[in-house]
Structure 1
């Protein structure tokens, strides 16, 4: 009898176990950024030994949860129409981005100081690239300012989004107003202060 079938079943069982653990990590860390591996294992319906059989430590598990969350978010952002007036596209992109950031604020807080900054930047490469392409098009069309470096504008928007999520969590920014405040703040950063920028 071939041994490939049992190996395939074991691999499938392991993949299902990993998926349950990552889903539980996303759920628990979104509710509490300080959730322990014990909490996550309990939510996943597995023992600690099973969890550590798939993930070396909590950092690795947090990164896996964040990676899956950003992958799901990327599917949403990929559907945003990037054609048309750059300013309107930016508003739509910010709206979708803010929803995703707000929903994953606790998970992002769990990753802060745990997942290396270089890895966090790598995980955000696709959203950053999409935003950079939009800003570049807006600059070429005379809609967005050209007096500041494009990478800096992308970074500034990234920090504004994540900073706003932290302010909401701290109770210093009303959640109901956050999306509009973020959009207006970003527009104040990327739109030319005067017609002079359009002529450069």
Structure 2
């Protein structure tokens, strides 16, 4: 009976954690300043239960961001990265931007609460895809070889996150962002002295 009770408690705890993480993703996705009380209410649990599983707001934000990135990785797994690396990069940016755009407020919360090193760690999956694509593009003569791949990947992610800032400032609309990002990144990645391909509008 003790074993059964333990199993039941673990299942209840798992449900509470899942509810809290889902509520955090939704609340922080609307408002990066959402309080833990608001998240607990949305999850249908008390603050005591929330603090039993998460010792700080940063831990809640980390869990919500991890969940969003796990789901994002599932989407990115479906993107065709074969063929011309420049076209593949554009397809990746289109899909990646939709994910970033849908989690803009959550990203703001993560940038406030988490260390740059942790944010890099969380983005390891998307970064690995771009690294492989850039390496192939370099090997095939489409992308420049005078800059480290890690720097080129960072440029792409920085431009994506800059787009969210521009949207928040009212200088860019979400529906134009993917094109702007692709045009900027393709210009940065293309071998100097060769024509820069124009991304599809």
TM-score range, shorter chain: over 0.9
| Correspondence for 1:156 | 155
- Partner Cα distance (1:177, 1:133) in 2: 26
Once the two structures are TM-superposed, the CA of residue 147 in structure 1 deviates from its matched residue by: 2.1
Q: Give per-residue Cα distances to partners, 1:39-90, cap 9 Å, x unaligned.
A: 1011111111111111101111001100111111011111112211111110
TM (norm. structure 2) is 0.94
Q: Which residues in structure 2 correspond to 1:97-112 (within 5 Å)?
A: 97-112=96-111
Once the two structures are TM-superposed, the CA of residue 119 in structure 1 deviates from its matched residue by: 0.8
Pair 1:170 & 2:160 matched: no
TM (norm. structure 1) is 0.94
- Partner Cα distance (1:149, 1:54) in 2: 40
Q: Which residues in structure 2 correspond to 1:122-161 (within 5 Å)?
A: 122-161=121-160
- Partner Cα distance (2:125, 2:24) in 1: 23
Q: Give per-residue Cα distances to partners, 1:134-176, cap 9 Å, x unaligned.
A: 0010011011112222211111111001111121122121122
- Partner Cα distance (1:41, 1:194) in 2: 56
| Correspondence for 2:55 | 56
- Partner Cα distance (1:170, 1:112) in 2: 17
Aligned residues: 195
| Correspondence for 2:118 | 119
| Correspondence for 1:93 | 92
Unaligned residue ranges in structure 1 (runs of 5+) = none
Unaligned residue ranges in structure 2 (runs of 5+) = 196-201
Once the two structures are TM-superposed, the CA of residue 113 in structure 1 deviates from its matched residue by: 2.8
Once the two structures are TM-superposed, the CA of residue 5 in structure 1 deviates from its matched residue by: 1.0
